[in-house]
């Protein structure tokens, strides 16, 4: 049986960074028709109701129906250490991240945290994400199994490190290749799951390991590759000491076959001109992680890069201080203000949905409300708290009505979540 979901509906016909808010389409009384896990039609709610009288109707009234939110850079193993007091990146890794990730040698613990993370993400309206695991293959198995049970679209990979990490968190160049290949062959393309080749970052991978993972990517170019790039100035200086032959930080990846159009480069705050040029030239994506960048004092991302390359938006759980992409959008707005560029609500919503799908190269499957796409939806209550309601009451258009929820909303604003055509949260 088909489902017809009614309410305000927001979708995108283009990129608002390129053509402005007119890229969005808004129906005050709209509808989304869902059948067999896919969106069959989007448009006027009354017309869809008349044209599909046998559909099961869920009416959300004045709530706003959008494509499900996507998070393009997550460390699910850091779920338990989110919002821990810290200093700088390397301090954070040594004090919190590495000790917690060592616990994932226990498959039962990995399974517990994977389920908890996905449920927290869903509670905040996130229906898809791209996550790092740990060096333990079972940590990948745990996340994919939990995602499969929930019918979610998830990208993930084994995090590879063979130096500058505790003994319990180091693999080798060969085992990183072998484990990653085995996991890729097991999970990639299975249902809604995608494997991502995952060197943590250059300081924790030898040249031999980077070379091995570059070779694996060359053998499986349909996979994505995720890593970190130029997050903090002291990190950049460390990379220069570790790779004195490299032209810059990006060159440590490029020289080993880890630069390409399926590359996802987290943070990318302190880029050299050559690095920005090469990222744009190859069609790679950079991922903006605003709450993380401010929480550990990394710097302010340049959203002007969106004019030249694919840009994603992410929580960076748990260096990021929230599981909520609403909070992440708010932080992106604040960072933009500090750099003299006020992001429009249309741009923020696009980044969290269609923009992230584009960064992950699945815009033909998720990230928007359009016929043929997978039915991942989030339904936002635009009056979820008294503070938001009194601000929304003054709104003259959909953007004024939505912006208070972006800036002040949390999981209370998420009225319902649909994943693959199934309602996982809310009526």
| Domain chopping of the chain, boundaries | 3-68+367-425, 69-323
Decide whether 3-68+367-425 matches 69-323 in CATH topology.
no
Question: How much is the pLDDT for 346?
Answer: 98
Question: How much is the pLDDT for 339?
Answer: 96
The answer to whether the CB of 289 falls within 8 A of the CB of 73 is yes
Give the strand pairing for 193-199 and 153-157.
parallel
Residues in the chain: 427
The answer to whether the CB of 152 falls within 8 A of the CB of 117 is no
Secondary-structure class of domain 69-323 per CATH: alpha beta
Question: How much is the pLDDT for 89?
Answer: 66
Question: How much is the pLDDT for 335?
Answer: 98
The fold adopted by the segment(s) 3-68+367-425 is Urease, subunit C; domain 1 (2.30.40)
Q: CB 316: neighbour CB atoms within 10 A? A: 31
Question: How much is the pLDDT for 91?
Answer: 77
**Global pTM value:** 0.97
Query: Which portions of the chain are predicted below pLDDT 50?
Result: none
């Amino acid at each position: 049986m088909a489902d017809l979901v009614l309410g305000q509906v927001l979708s995108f016909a283009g990129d608002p960074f390129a053509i402005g808010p007119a890229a969005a389409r808004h129906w005050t009384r709209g509808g989304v028709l869902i059948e067999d896990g896919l969106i069959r039609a989007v448009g006027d709610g009354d017309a869809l109701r008349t044209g599909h009288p046998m559909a099961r109707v869920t009416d959300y009234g004045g709530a706003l129906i959008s494509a499900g939110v996507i998070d393009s850079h997550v460390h699910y193993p850091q779920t338990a250490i989110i919002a821990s007091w810290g200093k700088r990146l390397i301090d954070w890794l040594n004090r919190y991240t590495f000790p917690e990730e060592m616990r994932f040698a226990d498959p039962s613990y990995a399974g517990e945290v994977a389920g908890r993370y996905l449920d927290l993400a869903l509670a905040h309206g996130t229906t898809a994400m791209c996550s790092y695991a740990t060096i333990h293959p079972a940590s990948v198995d745990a996340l994919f199994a939990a995602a499969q049970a929930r019918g979610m679209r998830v990208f993930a990979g084994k995090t590879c490190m063979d130096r500058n990490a505790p003994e319990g968190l180091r693999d080798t160049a060969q085992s990183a290749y072998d484990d990653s290949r085995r996991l890729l062959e097991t999970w990639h393309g299975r249902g809604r799951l995608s494997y991502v080749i995952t060197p943590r970052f250059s300081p924790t991978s030898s040249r031999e390991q980077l070379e091995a993972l570059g070779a694996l990517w060359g053998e499986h170019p349909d996979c994505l590759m995720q890593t970190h790039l130029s997050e903090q100035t002291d990190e950049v200086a460390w990379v220069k000491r570790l790779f004195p032959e490299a032209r810059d930080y990006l060159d440590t990846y490029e020289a080993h076959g880890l630069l390409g159009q399926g590359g996802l480069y987290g943070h990318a705050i302190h880029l050299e001109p050559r690095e920005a040029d090469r990222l744009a030239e190859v069609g790679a994506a950079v991922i903006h992680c605003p709450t993380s960048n401010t929480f550990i004092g990394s710097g302010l991302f340049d959203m002007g890069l969106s004019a030249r390359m694919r840009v994603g938006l992410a929580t960076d759980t748990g260096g990021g201080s929230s599981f909520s992409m609403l909070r992440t959008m708010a932080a992106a707005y604040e960072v933009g203000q500090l750099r003299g560029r006020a992001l429009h609500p249309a741009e923020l919503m696009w980044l969290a949905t269609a923009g992230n799908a584009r960064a992950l190269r699945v815009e033909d499957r998720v990230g928007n409300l359009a016929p043929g796409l997978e039915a991942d939806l989030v339904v936002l209550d635009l009056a979820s708290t008294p503070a938001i309601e009194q601000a929304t009451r003054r709104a003259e258009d959909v953007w004024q009505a939505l912006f208070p929820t972006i800036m002040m909303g949390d999981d209370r604003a998420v009225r319902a979540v649909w994943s693959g055509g199934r309602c996982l949260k809310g009526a």
